[in-house]
Structure 1
């Protein structure tokens, strides 16, 4: 199964605040907030939603195609992605702009306040997906958070080219209108959100969850420490518990890690339950490591965490998806 991942490529600036954001908010002053936090550290890492997912797929033995726009400073990042098994031939490198920047502040409870500067990502709208239909077509195109015009164009092209696609609007839900969101998810084979994004999606579109479900093949919602929920139009939802993580180092990129694990299992023809379990195992690894790409993804560690959480039968079922993990 060949997977193409479209979306953001970024440099992450990760900061940690030792206190709680909520302790600094005054209930009667929420209409006028002016806060500054003294942070303990600054960690600069490679990131971006699409790059994170492609990196995870590469680490799990696949050769995903990364499609996105990066900046004049992409050379070293591109070499690293290529070494991890990512096909970067679909990356547009700007001649004038720097790679997008993600600035994220995390408090002691794992709450985050973030900002994103597009930089070269604005040029993603100029990327044409038509060449993907020539030669080895991807079996699945994942449309992640990106320049909004790029997201709209690539979703529209996926339909026009007859490409099976998955929708992962995530952080861009705040910038999109209800109709734009519906245009992105309509006809998606898979819709990915976390629990907060799921509520935001229904609020912005004004459509109840059952209406959204009629538009997609399946809706996958990550629930943090409670695991993941997979819903289809008919039948009860599938609930898969998370792989426990005693100490969370950094929550950044955990959702991207889940998507990589989930899609890697599907690429091997495994069940949705197995896919959700592998996704949870990879996400747990992300939570225990700094940054969104610094986690271990070797087969022995993943198999051990799956066996401990879900049992020996689950670990055996996922063995084919772990054979190429590094």
Structure 2
């Protein structure tokens, strides 16, 4: 069982030609509403790939009976939810420009309950964006920890970030988040990678790099027609973690994450084009060859 901690949200995704400066405006060329939230996206991707997953999240009283609840039921996502009355389920307003740069405005809503909630002790947990203090407490109590700060990296103090990384086994981040973590902690990129067993840094369309045992291993992207980059990182993590619990090597896990992400960016929405394990394998073989054989389970 993979446990995922963090936000469940409703995404309002808009396209603009350019992101405006302060006190300026821009035209929205397209706007759509999707199921989202970093943790929920990862849990949905894991469930679609056929792995058991439990989502630990906060929702408002608008979630029960919603289409989103029915979608999670269909996927078979186990849920440990803090249901907060008289609040909204968190809502994200995301704007992507023609160059692929993004800006996000996030209404925490029910997620404010994280700060006052008891942190669970979990055997294998991935922590996505959530309350920094709550994530620190989860990391301290859990056995094996995977962590990605996401765009909430700016909300972590130096003490919180140092605490959570000291308890992290696998660290995920994109190039912007890596830079911010290094700035907050006052360390180099190389020093940051040595704090954890594995670090996976993604670079949008320029691929990703796995850092492990003092070495870096580059993983190229899978070429596809890009529709919307939103959710690419979440689906990468879903693919990586699903492969990791099956026993694949970290490098193969990164490739599987890359392939999983390639499906999601072909369509707008973080959960609208999630691949099954069989679909992922088909595209994996076309780009990376036959994946390694796994030892038979006793």
What TM-score range do you get, normalising by the shorter chain? over 0.9
Show the counterpart of 1:104: 94
Match of 1:51, SS? helix
The Cα offsets for residues 78-110 of structure 1, whole Å up to 9 and x where unpaired, read as 22112112101x111111211111101111121
Which structure shows the bigger proportion of residues in strand conformation? Answer: 2
Shift of 1:149: 2.9
Pick from 58, 82, 86: which aligns with 1:92? Answer: 82
Cα separation, 1, equivalents of 2:274 and 2:84: 31
Shift of 1:72: 1.0
CA contact (8 A) 2:119 2:134 kept: no
Shift of 1:181: 1.1
Shift of 1:290: 1.2
CA contact (8 A) 1:68 1:91 kept: yes
Match of 1:34, SS? coil
Shift of 1:166: 1.3
Normalised by the size of structure 1, how large is the TM-score? 0.85
1:61 equivalent in alignment to 2:45: no
Shift of 1:244: 1.1
Match of 1:250, SS? coil
Structure 2, unmatched stretches of 5+, are: none
Cα separation, 2, equivalents of 1:207 and 1:67: 31
1:201 equivalent in alignment to 2:200: no
Normalised by the size of structure 2, how large is the TM-score? 0.92
Show the counterpart of 1:135: none
The Cα offsets for residues 112-133 of structure 1, whole Å up to 9 and x where unpaired, read as 1111110000102233244x5x
Pick from 206, 223, 233: which aligns with 1:244? Answer: 223
Pick from 224, 241, 263: which aligns with 1:263? Answer: 241
Cα separation, 2, equivalents of 1:35 and 1:63: 46
Show the counterpart of 1:291: 269
Match of 1:283, SS? helix
Cα separation, 2, equivalents of 1:227 and 1:305: 16
CA contact (8 A) 2:132 2:160 kept: no
1:142 equivalent in alignment to 2:120: no
The Cα offsets for residues 192-226 of structure 1, whole Å up to 9 and x where unpaired, read as 10111111110111112233233211111112222
Closer/same/farther in 2, CA of residues 15 and 317 from structure 1, 3 Å limit? farther
Match of 2:267, SS? coil
Pick from 62, 66, 70: which aligns with 1:79? Answer: 70
Please, which moves more after superposition, 104-113 or 145-154?
Answer: 145-154
Show the counterpart of 1:156: 140
Which structure shows the bigger proportion of residues in helix conformation? Answer: 1
Please, which moves more after superposition, 291-300 or 103-112?
Answer: 291-300
Match of 1:40, SS? strand
Shift of 1:15: 0.6
Q: How many residues align?
A: 293
The Cα offsets for residues 295-315 of structure 1, whole Å up to 9 and x where unpaired, read as 14134432232122112x23x
Runs of 4+ in 1 over 6 A off after TM superposition: none
Show the counterpart of 2:285: 307
1:46 equivalent in alignment to 2:35: yes
Cα separation, 2, equivalents of 1:229 and 1:70: 34
Show the counterpart of 1:7: 6
Match of 1:229, SS? strand
Cα separation, 2, equivalents of 1:36 and 1:58: 39
